[in-house]
Structure 1
């Protein structure tokens, strides 16, 4: 289930980056290069891809957890102290799921596990 959690979170996170940078799914706005939103999109696209396959899981999850904490305090918290009102629910959840992956690791269905020889043989 750890691998499933990592894969599902990575797929949804990747979708945020692909929307920002690749315009898929289609959106009305696209961030200008090297803005905070563009950097977030790069982290979401690249980090989501790496988490999806379970490569460099712990350091990538650490960076993405920090990104989500930063996003919450920068973009959401100033609107309201309540996550339900400021739209920061997903940022908080991603932050702690990624923080969990830092300590729990990628799970058995990952390139990290395969490269270390810990993948389950079937």
Structure 2
């Protein structure tokens, strides 16, 4: 019980850390598709399904990092990741470790968690109150 009392006040700060790190990782997927950074051979057309996904990843990643419109952005991004998993990964194999969809599953449930938890500390959403 003592450990619980020590750690509980830190929860909003670690929630913010989780939000910022996950937003940065998600943003990177979008910049790779749209801005070709980090450099890869993957360059989908901007008006394709993957191009739109890249735009959502950039805009949504920035919103998550800033903690701005966190709950609606996280809801949309969670849906995007569920769609991506079932559209792109699940047909390859039932197992996420084999179909390359483990990141999509993790992002989906991480963003779903943010829908219910909110942004934590250091978020622009907190400035509106």
* Same fold flag (TM > 0.5): yes
Structure of larger gyration radius: 2
Instruction: Tell me which residue corresponds to 2:83.
Output: 70
Secondary structure of 2:39's counterpart equals coil
**Does 2:34 correspond to 1:21?**
yes
**Does 2:65 correspond to 1:52?**
yes
Instruction: Tell me which residue corresponds to 1:119.
Output: none
Gap regions ≥5 residues in structure 2: 1-13
Instruction: Calculate the aligned-residue CA RMSD, in Å.
Output: 0.7
Instruction: Give the structure-2-normalised TM-score.
Output: 0.88
Gap regions ≥5 residues in structure 1: 117-122
Q: 4+ residue stretches of structure 1 with deviation over 4 A?
A: none
The CA distance in 2 between the partners of 1:78 and 1:29, in whole Å, is 20
The CA distance in 1 between the partners of 2:46 and 2:96, in whole Å, is 29
Instruction: Tell me which residue corresponds to 2:119.
Output: 106
Number of matched pairs: 116
